[in-house]
Structure 1
Amino acid sequence: MASEVTRFARPPATQRIGVLLLPGFSLLTQASCVEPLLIANQLSGCSLYQVSTLSLDAEPVRSAAQLACIADHALDDAPALLDTLLVIAPSPLPYPLPARLLEWLRQHHARTLGGLDGGGEVLARCGLLEGYRAALPWPRVSAVSQGYPTVVITQTLFEIDRNRMSCAGGTAALDMMLTLIARDAGAELAARVSEHFACERIRLADEPQHVPLRSRLGHAPQSLV
């Protein structure tokens, strides 16, 4: 039952997660990132994740749908000690990135950095993905590969490479966060969180973003394809 609580012999330590929202971010990506963590807390009966949202300043951040999100902290008063810092940005990036943002990201000491949707490109511009595998939205792969040849860019759903993570955005963020929950608190809890969102299954990291038309149409006649 969804209301049952997962029992731990020894609950995992609380993970402090910061989610930086940049203007034009996708609401779907943001929800797919944050809500699995909150449901993991609920279903486990433990504070597995402490999530804080961040913005460039104290002003509300407008999404691509023009809905405003009030963040918990601006960069100037962001928590100094985070286990993971995730950047969610639109793709492609429709504006220049402020110099103070780039500098702040370079100086931040989170154990793990992540970029979701256009957030991966933000990290690449900061030089924070050099030598790492990174999953970016497939329409941006060619351009970003040419601009940042030291980043190993893939068209998979998501990548978790040492202390870097990235995903294509949208529902790929959900699969990435479910994978993290499985790593932190076990596959059973991750499966229950997946069931909460009525997900058929947790997709693997190396599954492709762009599904060929033939695969999408199944056994349709070639003339229709």
Structure 2
Amino acid sequence: MTGSKEKRSFSAKMKDANSAFLPSEGTQAEPTHVGFILQKHFSMMAFTAAVDAIVTANLVNTSPLFTYETLAIENSPIMSDLGIEISADSIINEASPLQPNIPKILIICGGFRCSTEAHPPLSMLLKTAATQGVIMGGIWNGAIALAHAGLLDKQSCAVHPDNHAFMRERFPQVTTSNQVFVSDNNRLSCAGPVSALDMMLYLIGETHGKTIVRAIKEILSCDQISESSDIRLNQIIDDPCLPEKLRDLMALMAANIEEPISAEELSEFVGISRRQTERLFQHHLETSPSRYYLELRITHARRLLLQTNDSITNIALASGFVSSSHFSNCYKDYFGVSPKLARESR
């Protein structure tokens, strides 16, 4: 008697590249609601970096992890530092401080020209949020609003260097850090646009796990500049933690998708034995060479399937599968749907 066919799962390195297309696992929790408080002249680059992180988190998961809204102080739309206006979803003022419906996470978005003065309705909102255990963060000099509300006393925070002197003079009970990003007791803060993304990735990791963060980085960090300033697209094979021989093997596989190379040929090309090849993959990637190669090809096929109008037969051949039926079976094993259904629902 033959048992039911077991569904295949991607190994860790390849799962990040495919997470958005995998079937959901178990019951999905309600999305976490995030409120972005936009101050006049807020940094558009820092704001969009933060929003991009949570939007991408939704894209790499089969169900939404976050919802978000923009909040204005007194007036909407809010003028950004680029002269581009953003219409707010809600307004914080004396009449409507949003206290009954405070988001689970509040991020105050500052900028180079943002006011450092206190705003009583905002301070009231932040104090109420603190009593409800809301996670709060400041971008650029957004942490100043948290300091005005007394929510950073005896804590550390990060702000733009231009605001260090003000923070140390005005709030001696707050430690102004020289770090670009700080997390301290449910309060997060960062100094600018690049660290805004890092802060949000840290927050996403804390609330939804490191796997989601790796999947987000797979999309958003592909053009990160290395220490050598060698500006090129980052890929798995660029991981400096992996041995050179293993990276050579992975590069050979990536360069030979349509006509896969045998395990013996791969090992011979890099000058090691097949057994050494298997040990490298198992030790560093926790998978076998054949499984990694198959997942590399099925990922390549998935991209062609969803981004082109080529026939499924041609895609199968271009991805190194001997027949469209073999490709369809492998695709369904990994993604839970046939290539035809995946394309129809793209």
Structure 1-normalised TM-score? Answer: 0.79
Deviation by residue 1:55-104 (Cα, 9 ceiling, x = unmatched): 12352000011100011111226361321111112235446343333333
Matches within 5 A, 1:202-221: none
Specify the SS of the correspondent of 1:130: coil
Contact 1:60 1:69 in 2 (8 A): yes
1:118 and 1:107 map into 2 onto residues whose CA distance is 21
**Residue 181 of structure 2 is aligned to residue 158 of structure 1:** yes
Contact 2:24 2:63 in 1 (8 A): no
How many Å apart are 1:197 and its aligned residue? 1.6
For residue 32 of structure 1, the aligned residue among 49, 52, 60 is 49
2:203 and 2:195 map into 1 onto residues whose CA distance is 13
**Residue 100 of structure 2 is aligned to residue 91 of structure 1:** no
For residue 168 of structure 1, the aligned residue among 191, 195, 203 is 191
Matches within 5 A, 1:1-225: 1=17, 4-5=21-22, 7-75=24-92, 76=96, 78=98, 80-91=101-112, 93-94=114-115, 96-108=117-129, 109=132, 111-199=134-222
How many Å apart are 1:150 and its aligned residue? 1.2
How many Å apart are 1:47 and its aligned residue? 1.9
- Considering Cα pairs closer than 8 Å and 6+ residues apart, tell me whether 1 or 2 has the greater RCO: 1
2:209 and 2:125 map into 1 onto residues whose CA distance is 33
Q: Which moved more, 1:108-117 or 1:36-45?
A: 108-117
Contact 1:33 1:173 in 2 (8 A): yes
Specify the SS of the correspondent of 2:83: coil
Q: One-letter code of the match for 1:177?
A: M
Contact 1:87 1:115 in 2 (8 A): yes
Q: 1:162 to 1:20 in 2, by over 3 A?
A: same
**Runs of 5+ consecutive residues of structure 1 not aligned to the other structure:** 202-214, 218-225
Q: 1:134 to 1:6 in 2, by over 3 A?
A: farther
| More helix as a share of residues | 2
**Higher Rg of the two aligned structures:** 2
Q: Which moved more, 1:106-115 or 1:166-175?
A: 106-115
Contact 2:33 2:67 in 1 (8 A): yes
Q: Which moved more, 1:5-14 or 1:140-149?
A: 5-14
Deviation by residue 1:186-209 (Cα, 9 ceiling, x = unmatched): 2222122122123467xxxxxxxx
Specify the SS of the correspondent of 2:109: strand
Q: 1:66 to 1:152 in 2, by over 3 A?
A: same
Contact 1:5 1:43 in 2 (8 A): no
| More strand as a share of residues | 1
Partner of 1:206: none
1:106 and 1:32 map into 2 onto residues whose CA distance is 26
1:61 and 1:110 map into 2 onto residues whose CA distance is 28
Deviation by residue 1:128-157 (Cα, 9 ceiling, x = unmatched): 111211111123223312321111221212
Q: 1:8 to 1:134 in 2, by over 3 A?
A: farther
Q: Which moved more, 1:144-153 or 1:67-76?
A: 144-153
Q: 1:98 to 1:142 in 2, by over 3 A?
A: closer
Structure 2-normalised TM-score? Answer: 0.53
Specify the SS of the correspondent of 2:108: strand
2:139 and 2:87 map into 1 onto residues whose CA distance is 19
1:8 and 1:154 map into 2 onto residues whose CA distance is 40
1:65 and 1:71 map into 2 onto residues whose CA distance is 17
Question: How many residues end up aligned between the 2 structures?
Answer: 204
